Amino acid sequence: MFSERLRNLCLLTMDEARERRLKIATAESCTGGLLAGLFTEFAGSSDVFERGFVTYSNRAKEEVLGVPGDMLADYGAVSEPVARLMAEGALENSRANLAVAVTGIAGPGGGTPMKPVGTVHVACARENKALLHEACHFGDIGRQEIRLATLETALEMIQVGGPVVIVLIALSVFALTIILLKIWQFQAAHVFDTKQPRRLLALYKSGNEAEALAVASRSRNPVSRVLALAIRGRRRALPESKVREEVVRYGTDILESLRSWLRPLEVIGSMAPLLGLFGTVLGMIGAFQALEQAGNQVDPSILSGGIWEALLTTAVGLAVAMPVVAVLSFLERIVERVAHDMDSIVTQVFTEDLSETAEEATGHERARLRTAVVAGE
């Protein structure tokens, strides 16, 4: 009955509630106990879920949750004031310290021009916290779909840290997926093997041109593939400028493939701390709103609890950004090294090595040949 997404969201909500030692109560109208049913779908939910109220009729809302009859008459059962009073009533009439309430029109009938089918109000009350409310307009998407969408909204509202933390968690999953795919791509392309292109270049320089070309052509290493292209151009006696032009084009295409999806990682690394700061600002606003509502009955725990939750989003943002930026720097350095090796290897195909090491090697080779000639005599 419940989708995998709903089940995972509920598990995440309960895990966060356990960490904060929260007890949850529900007050439901249009969902008819579905939210309570979702919480109790899992073994061990009793340490989080305290109780549920199914107040389908207006009289039940009055008698069980203490919603005033005149409020129901003036605003209607599907309204923000009633949803707020339902959440507060569930909190007052239970041993929970967090309560969520839902009231709406699930259809197929019951809608009006002012309140069409799919109109739902969700409210969340918590001890010493500002009361949250969200008005949803799902549209006439079907009775069951409206009820299930209401459950998702209610669970997201309960989330500790708010929607910003949910966005950050989603970004972290997306970033991890990109990182794993890039590592797989680099591993499949053998970009971590820096020795093979140099061995093939040495083979080519020693006169074994055909063997070097054959091995380089079969290789998946991007530097070796570029080397194969350069050797092939030299064997066909093409002008150096044309060979270099084609090698640059081919190498640029390979580098562009290696750089793919690095930009989204950069965006995530930059945006995560800003989103965390944004969540902190929202949390601080909520904390000071709760202080204002408390009036003369100010409890220091109101402010401290609000600050704790506000700073949580900053911590999550930094926790997402730091490893992403570190891995991004590592991946970019690999691409830079590949680009450097391409340029260096291809250049050596058309030039002679004039370093002292090369001269010594050439001298040793000449001495070896001279000795071989003398011995032959």
Q: What is the mean pLDDT of the segment spanning 59-71?
A: 95
Q: Does 175 lie in the same domain as 155?
A: no
Residue ending a domain, choose from 159, 187, 211:
159
Q: Does 153 lie in the same domain as 171?
A: no
Q: What is the mean pLDDT of the segment spanning 158-179?
A: 82
Per residue in 261-315, pLDDT (tens digit) is 999 999 999 999 999 898 888 777 766 766 665 566 555 655 565 676 678 888 8
Q: What is the mean pLDDT of the segment spanning 340-346?
A: 94
Q: Is the pLDDT of residue 370 over 50?
A: no
Contact 99, 91 (CB under 8 A): yes
Q: Is the pLDDT of residue 373 over 50?
A: no
Q: Is the pLDDT of residue 372 over 50?
A: no
Q: Does 150 lie in the same domain as 92?
A: yes
Q: Does 166 lie in the same domain as 148?
A: no
Q: Does 110 lie in the same domain as 55?
A: yes
Q: Domain of residue 354: give its range.
A: 161-377
Min mean pLDDT across 244-248, 301-305, 371-375 is at 371-375
Q: Does 168 lie in the same domain as 154?
A: no
Residue ending a domain, choose from 109, 131, 159:
159
Q: What is the mean pLDDT of the segment spanning 221-235?
A: 94
Per residue in 102-132, pLDDT (tens digit) is 999 999 999 999 999 999 999 999 887 778 8
Q: What is the mean pLDDT of the segment spanning 11-33?
A: 91
Q: Does 172 lie in the same domain as 134?
A: no
Q: Does 105 lie in the same domain as 21?
A: yes
What pLDDT, on a 0 to 100 scale, did the predictor assign at position 290?
Answer: 62
Q: Is the pLDDT of residue 319 over 90?
A: yes
Q: Is the pLDDT of residue 337 over 90?
A: yes
Q: What is the CATH number of the domain that holds 10?
A: 3.90.950.20
Q: Does 183 lie in the same domain as 146?
A: no
Q: Is the pLDDT of residue 374 over 60?
A: no
203-207: which pairs have CB atoms within 8 A and are 24 or more residues apart?
204/231, 204/349, 205/348, 205/353
Residue ending a domain, choose from 143, 159, 175:
159
Query: 206: part of which helix (H) or strand (E)?
Result: none
CA distance 304 to 123: 23
Q: Is the pLDDT of residue 348 over 80?
A: yes
pTM for this model (two decimals): 0.61
Q: Does 96 lie in the same domain as 241?
A: no
CA 197 to chain centre: 37
CA 161 → CA 58, 76, 101, 104, distances in Å?
A: 33, 31, 19, 26
Q: Does 137 lie in the same domain as 199?
A: no
Domain count of the chain? Answer: 2
Q: Does 154 lie in the same domain as 246?
A: no
